[in-house]
Amino acid sequence: MEKIYQFVSEYPRLVFGTTAAVMFGTSLALRFSPETQQRVDFSCQSIQLEGPEGIRVSTLNDVTNGEYFRKYDEFNNLYESFLAGEKLSNNGPCMGHRPPGSKEYVWKTYSEIREQAQRFGSGLIQKGFKGGDTSYLGIYSINREEWAVTDIACTAYNITTIPLYDTLGETSTKYIINLVGIPVIVCDTFQKVHRLLDQKPELKTMKLIIVAENEIPENILSKARAVGVDLTTYNEIVELGKQHLQEPTPAGTDDLYTICFTSGTTGDPKGVMLTHGNQLCMAGSVNAVGISFNNQDTHFSYLPLAHSFERTMLWVSLACGTKYGFYSGDARKIVEDASILKPTIFVGVPRVLNRIYDKATSAVNEASFVKRMVFNLAFSSKRAAVLKGVVTKDSIWDKLVFKKIQDLLGGCVRLMISGGAPASPEVLIFMRTVFGVTVIEAYGQTECTAAATVTIAGDNEAGHVGPPIPCCMVKLVDVPEKDYYAKDGKGEVCFKGSNVFQGYFKKPDLTAEVLDQDGWLHSGDIGLWQTNGTLKIIDRKKHIFKLSHGEYISPEKLENIYVSCPLIAQVFVYGNSNQAHVVAMVIPDEEELIKRATTNQWKGTFKELCSSEDVKTEIKKEMKTAGENAKLLGFQKVKDIFLLSEPMSIENGLLTPSLKSRRAVIEKKFRQSLDNLYNT
C-alpha cells in the first residue's frame, strides 16, 4: 500500500505549479457553492427513549408509533434489490475492470451481469449443488467481477457464501473450510488452487474448485484428479448453466446470506452469520442518512470484498444502479486505477487516509516559505468554510492549489466514506478541505453488518461517529473497572436492531459472550454521548491490563497518542501486572528518519539506524513531548522502547486484514525483547 502514496513526494510541484501562479493566487477571493442542505437538526441528532437504559435511536424513526429501529422490508432478499438496481440503471454499466496495460475501463451492463449470474448459478445446480440452508460456497479471490457475480448468483439460488482471504493464513483457511464443510470454492488464481489441493487430505468436504482462468494446465488437472477434486473454470460453469438455465429461487429475508469470518486478534476466526435482512437494512439505513448513490455514480472497489465494509458498499451500489469499478489487483497501481476510473465515491479506512495526510503535510512543511504561505492561506480559507458547512471544489483555491491533488483520484469524487476505526478529526477536515468533498464516517463491526452509527451528510464537525442509523438502537453500559458509567453518558457501546448478526457459526458459547439475552450486541468499545446526540469513541474495553499498583492501562489509547510523533510509523505499547509502568516497541518512519539522519549526520542504512542509540534517544524525546501534550499520567507514559525496522503488516501476521494489531501474536513474538526493557 505504500506505493499508493508515492505522489506526495512531489506534492509542492503538483500543488503549486509555477511561482507566478502562486503569487497571483494570493490576490484572489474564494467563491463558494451553496451550503449543504441539512437533513436533520445537527444540534439534536438522536432521540433518547424513556427509561433507565438511556437508549438512543435515529431522529428519522417514528418513535411515537414505536418505531425504534427499521427493518427495511421493501425487498425479500438481496437478489430483488439487485433487480431493482438494474431498473434504476436503465441497463447502464454495472461492473468494470481495467485490462492489463489499458488506459480505460471495460464495462458490462446490469442485464449482462444478471444473465451471467443466472448462468453461473444454474451451472452450480447442474453440477449437483442445491440451494438451501446448508448450501455453502467459498470465495477465495481478490476483488474482481467473478467475485461479485458469484455473490449475486448465490443470492439468486439461496446459497450461502463464505469469503476466504490470504491473510487469514493457511491454518485458519483450513479451519474455516472444515468447520463449515464447504464443498465448492471459487478461486482467482492457480496459486490458490495449488494451495487448496495441497491441503486436500485434510479438507474432506471440498469436492469442486472453480478457477477464474480460461484454461487449466494438464499438470494441475492431474493433481486435482489425484486427490479427488473436480477442477473446472468459471467460464465452463457459466456455459454449462447457459445450456441448463434454471429459474432463480432466491431466499427469504431471514435466510442466511453469508458467513463472514473475522480474523480477530486472538484464537480461531469466528464466523459471523448475516441474513439477507441484515444486509438489506444496511443499504436502506445508509441511504436514509445521506450516503445516497445513484445511477450516475461510480464506486471504486479496492478494499477487500471479503470484509463486511466493502461488501456493504457492493450491495448499496447494486441496489442503486451505480457503476462498480474494480482496481487492477495491484495495490501499487491504485492511484493510477482511480485516476482512470474517475470514481465519484471513494471509500477508505483511517490508516489509508492518515498516510495521505501525514505525507502531504510533511511535504508542504518542507516547501519554500512562499509556497507554505500560499498553501496555508488556501487551506485556512477553505477550512473555515468547511466548518460552516460549505464543501466545494469550485473555489479559486481549488483551481490553483488543490486541483492536482484532487485529480489523483480522478477529479470527480463527491463523497468519501471512512470506516474500520475512528478517524482523526484533523484528517477528516483535511480531506473535506483539500478534496472538496463530503466525508462521512461510519462506525460499527462485522457483527452489526459493518455499521451502527454514521455521521450525517452536511455535518462537518469532526471528532464523533454520528448518531445511530435508522435500523439500529444504541445504548451505553457501565464499565466500572475503568470508571465509565452510563449515568454520566459514558460506557461500553451496545447495539440492537435489524443489522445485528444471528450469532457465531457453531459457536454458541462465543455468541453468548457478546450477544446478551435481550439481543444487545456488546462491542467492547467505550463511547461518550455528546450534547448533540452523536457518539464519540473514547476508549476500548478490551486490550486493557492492570499495572502493579492497580491502575488500568488502555494500550490502544496510548498508541494513538504516540503514533502522532513524526519519527514514529507504528508503536506497540506493552505492560504487565508485575510492573508499575509501560514499555513499547517502535517502528520508525523510514522517510522521516532518513531526513533526520542527514541533518544530524547519523550514518547507516534504515535498518542500521534502528539500532542507533542516538535515534532511540531522539524518538524517546518526541514521545515524552507527546505524552506531556496529551497530559498523560506518570504510569501511562512509556519509560523505555526498542526499535524495529520491519513494519507490522498483514503479510507478516502482525496486523489483521482490517489493520488492527494482533496483540497476542505481537506479544508472543516480541515478549523477550519487551521484557528485557524491564530488566534494563
For 595, how many CA atoms within 13 A lie in the half-sphere containing its CB? 11
Phi and psi of 677, rounded to 5°? -65, -35
In this predicted structure, what is the pLDDT of residue 266? 54
Has residue 74 got a pLDDT over 60? yes
In this predicted structure, what is the pLDDT of residue 461? 84
Band (pLDDT 50/70/90 cuts) for residue 36 is very low
**Grid coordinates in use for 115?**
444473465
Phi-psi region of 491 (alpha: psi -120 to 50; beta: other; left: phi over 0): left
3-class state of residue 497 by DSSP: strand
Q: Whose CA is closest to 402, among 437, 454, 428, 370?
A: 437
Task: Check residue 189 and report its DSSP letter.
Answer: S
Band (pLDDT 50/70/90 cuts) for residue 550 is low
In this predicted structure, what is the pLDDT of residue 31? 31
Most confidently predicted of 184-198, 327-341, 390-404:
184-198
Rounded mean pLDDT, 576-603: 89
Band (pLDDT 50/70/90 cuts) for residue 657 is confident
In this predicted structure, what is the pLDDT of residue 353? 83
Higher pLDDT, residue 49 or 133: 49
Has residue 611 got a pLDDT over 60? yes
In this predicted structure, what is the pLDDT of residue 483? 83
Has residue 8 got a pLDDT over 60? no
Q: Which H or E run contains 477?
A: strand 472-477
3-class state of residue 190 by DSSP: helix
Has residue 43 got a pLDDT over 50? yes
In this predicted structure, what is the pLDDT of residue 11? 38
Higher pLDDT, residue 200 or 15: 200
pLDDT tens column, 147-178: 999 999 999 999 999 999 876 777 889 999 99
3-class state of residue 53 by DSSP: coil
Check if the beta carbon of residue 302 is closer than 8 Å to that of residue 337. yes
Band (pLDDT 50/70/90 cuts) for residue 366 is confident
pLDDT tens column, 447-504: 999 999 999 888 878 889 999 999 999 999 999 877 899 999 999 999 999 999 999 9
In this predicted structure, what is the pLDDT of residue 365? 82
**Grid coordinates in use for 199?**
491441503
Share of the chain above pLDDT 90, in %: 64
Give dist(CA 504, CA 256) in Å, integer.
12
Phi and psi of 423, rounded to 5°? -95, 155
Check if the beta carbon of residue 264 is closer than 8 Å to that of residue 655. no
Size (the chain), residues: 680
Q: Which residue(s) pair with 57 in the sheet? A: 47
Rounded mean pLDDT, 257-274: 84
Share of the chain above pLDDT 70, in %: 92
Rounded mean pLDDT, 10-35: 34
Higher pLDDT, residue 542 or 23: 542
Which residue reads 460456497 in cell numbers? 137
> What is the residue-averaged pLDDT of the chain?
88
Check if the beta carbon of residue 434 is closer than 8 Å to that of residue 404. no
pLDDT tens column, 91-118: 999 999 999 989 999 999 999 999 999 9
Has residue 58 got a pLDDT over 90? yes
Has residue 265 got a pLDDT over 70? no
In this predicted structure, what is the pLDDT of residue 170? 78
In this predicted structure, what is the pLDDT of residue 549? 61
Q: Residue 671: how many CB atoms within 10 A of its CB?
A: 12
Phi and psi of 488, rounded to 5°? -95, 5
pLDDT tens column, 213-254: 999 999 999 999 999 999 999 999 999 999 999 999 999 999
In this predicted structure, what is the pLDDT of residue 39? 53
SS3 for 81-134, per residue?
HHHHHHHHCCCCEEEEECCCCCCCCEEEEHHHHHHHHHHHHHHHHHCCCCCCCC
* CA distances, 27 to each of 373, 400, 435 (Å): 13, 12, 22
Rounded mean pLDDT, 265-283: 88
Among 4-13, 552-561, 626-635, which is the least confidently predicted range?
Answer: 4-13
Supply the Cα-derived Rg of the chain in whole angstroms. 26
Rounded mean pLDDT, 508-516: 95
